[in-house]
Structure 1
Amino acid sequence: MSQPKIITSKSGSIFRITINRPSKKNAVDSETYKLLIENLALADKDDDISMTVITGVGDFFSSGNEFSASKIKNIAEDPKSATTLVQQFVDALIGHSKVLIGLVNGPAIGIACTTLALFDCVVCTDDAYFSCPFTKLGLLPEGTSSLSFPLIMGHSKAAQMLLFSEKMSANEAKQAGLVNIVIPRQLFKAESEKILQKYAQLMPQSLLKAKQLMRTQQQRHLLHSANQQEIEAIQHQWIQPETSRNVQKAFSKPNTSKI
């Protein structure tokens, strides 16, 4: 019997979404995207919920989009259909009304890294790293990172990740403003739970109204526009023959991290 790709639970005002694909380093496929989108919508509609938490099972938060030879071929043949779920997932994060917390239990790569800029709080293990290897593969920034990363960390640090495909350590990501709190791995489960319970004591109506004031309609519009522009650019990029060749070559290597 196959394991569920997403595990959810509700405890008081906290709704937890856990990516459960440890054998795939929590890579995100089409089914996982659909489940993430569905559960973000469920949390959004639940009046009892004030915080939505996303984390992963195992040593990886998520290695990003899952690629295989057949999937790469399908994307190259119909990039518009292939990127629809990515766009919907990012839009769901942008529009999410609850306080969004990422418990980053390990490396965050590609879409798993870029979308952290849309979270309200990111807590990570001290051995986590953050990587956007798009230009290594001939791909392009996603998850609104072309807008959000420069706003959060400044152009030079954003360029380090998005233009030059350089990794950031947990402490570097904290200094850059992408991460709020870094916790030693051996203490991560217990200490991150303490943080959640502390935040759960805050007044929910006040908490959600404060987020609404911080994430204005104008800001949401800019983020949705950035998402649309990135997706259109990515669709065009996949039409280029060298793109699928580069990605195919990269993911044919053993132990290659997904993006």
Structure 2
Amino acid sequence: MSIPVTASGPLGYSVLEALSTLLAPELRDRVLERAFRVSGRREVPETAVEARVFVEGALASAIIEAVGPETARFVLEDLEPILCLAESQQPCRDEHQLATVRPAAGADPYSAPTVRPELMETRRPDSLDREHVTTAAPGPADESEASSGVMRRPDTLPQLVIATAAPAYHELANGLPSGVRLLRVTDAFELFTALDTRVAPVWILVDGYRPTVDLTTLATFLPRVPEACEVMLWGFDHDVVGSFVAKRGWRMLHAEEEWEDLAAELTSAMLFG
């Protein structure tokens, strides 16, 4: 995929990759050209706050002008998880910081668009096909575990995003605590799109037996794992992934290849830490 060289870091390249997936090359370049001209920028910002101002301001206006408000809403919904992930990695020091970011030097203050309220309210609960989403059903074990007083509260149980090529991944849900949301992704873009930690913590499970996501790519675009997120590696040789699991937020699972074994290890980690 050819992406214009208008970014200098992971956040910018994530935004550009998303646009390249959603818009035809000529349309993408035209949208970016107008957004950069209006904002006075030469590339997508790398700070979370400025990136949101750019996306919901100059970029949103350029997309609406090019494809209309309805289609623009879908495009901006696909960019929202990228911004949320960046914000979780770069928390604002001041809750009013968004309102105080000024246009870049050289920008026309009268042409710089304001953030549109209807776009700020847009939040996509699930951008991926619903056939890839499974929720663990209630089981008899939940009541007995809850009575021990050690089990985590249900609202703290993580969402589980599994990167796997296995079509039978939904079998994993049978052994997980009730209510755990299981979502399968098949490439890096889908994975980053699914990282929304506002509702619940997110655990990323990377299947090494049937891999679909390259670990180096994952580490590049996720240089620091957010507080409410954890990356779990399953089915990898420790000699191969040792440098990854040494980082904060990365963990190696020791379950065998069977879904039942994996579910048991994940359930223990979810309920008892």
- What's the TM-score once normalised by structure 1's chain length? 0.30
Relative contact order higher in (CA < 8 Å, ≥ 6 apart): 1
Whichever structure has more strand as a proportion of its residues is 1
Higher alpha-carbon Rg: 2
Normalised TM-score (structure 2): 0.28
Structure in which a larger fraction of residues adopt helix: 1
